[in-house]
Amino acid sequence: MKELFDVTIIGGGPAGLYSAFYSGLRGMKTKILEAQPSLGGKVTLYPEKMIWDVGGQPPVTGGVFAKQLVEQALTFQPTVFTKKKVGFIEKDSNNQFILTTDDGNKHYSKAVILANGGGIITPKRLEIEGSSRFEGNNLHYKMPSIKSLHNKVVMISGGGNAAIDWAVELLSIAKKVILVYRRGEAGAHEAQVDKLENSNATILKNTVIRSLEGVGSYLDEAVLENVWTGEITKERVDHVLVHHGYHQDNSLDISDNLLMERTKDGFYHGNAQGCTSQEGIFAAGDNIFYEGKVNLLVGAFQDAVNAVNSVKNYIDPAAPATAMVSSHNEQFDERNHEIVREMLG
């Protein structure tokens, strides 16, 4: 027997997670469908990066912040599925949405919130034979713990903002930082590039990694090639960090009888209330565009609140336009008492 939810959220990143929390606050039966093995979204790609720009939140690492987002999202016990990629959305004769995932299962919902950002993101990997055996040890596609890189020789491959940021961050941590990138100039923020060029880092321009050598599953040497001269060199390394960008899979098919307008850049065209051009389908986060859009984490949270409120009024037009503030909301009464009891011992 099919189970019908009030709202199904596609995507378990910041916008989707806060949508789940707020829809629980509004008393809706909620489901999250996330394509990746775990919740957290893009924030989990930078577990050691400091986040400074969330209101009321002291500086926090991406890993800790993602954990807090997930904990908050589960407050009202939504149904959560990971490793479930939604491939098709349609609407049946009962005005219910049917979401089909890549395993062939169908999920039924009164409304949908698209919170899948630019799609499923996976790091671009080195196209080097045998390199996969080093993954999970000292070949990394996201920043490992800072502690593991302390006083180590670290090579970073990539010339974009993330790679340069990693290199600058490790200047005071690693024994030696080696940066390699294919182009003649880095395509990153000028201030960060200047910091790197005025440091003791080794910068190898017009250079690529041709092979990685090591014993067993641990690499200890990178074989490099200068793409202009063809010169081959070797560097002894303890760790290699690769940031060549991401593959983005935003393939999501929608039934022909559903109208989902997109901007020329591929964003869903909508409004500040999270409404898209299709009644019953809402959006929050990086995948929606409207005038006044704030492309920050705090903007994703505002999108989530507005989208959830719109869902609530779509399902129940007589419902209040917004939820009661948390300090007065009866759903938190028992939790507040528990916290007070813990404080009093």
Binding residue positions for FAD: 34, 42, 46, 86, 121, 286, 327
- Could you give the C-alpha distances from 241 to 126, 145, 151, in angstroms and in order? 11, 12, 15
CB 140 within 8 Å of CB 129: no
Residues 6+ apart with CB under 8 A from 343: none
Q: Would you list which residues are annotated within the binding site?
A: 34, 42, 46, 86, 121, 286, 327
Residues 59/345, Cβ–Cβ less than 8 Å? no
d(CA 209, CA 162): 18
**Do residues 224 and 235 lie in contact, with contact meaning Cβ atoms separated by under 8 Å?**
yes
Q: How far apart are CA 53 and CA 311, in angstroms?
A: 28
Could you tell me which of 13, 1, 5 has the C-alpha nearest to residue 30? 5
- Please give the Cα distance from 345 to 340 (Å, whole number): 9
β-strand partners of 178: 155, 202
Rounded to the nearest 5°, which phi and psi values hold at 19?
-60, -40
Is the torsion defined by CA of 72, 73, 77, 82 positive or negative? negative
The burial class, CB within 10 Å (0-12 / 13-18 / 19+), for 341 is: exposed
Q: Which residues contact 71 (CB under 8 A, 6 or more apart)?
A: none
| Residues 112, 231 contacting (CB under 8 angstroms) | no
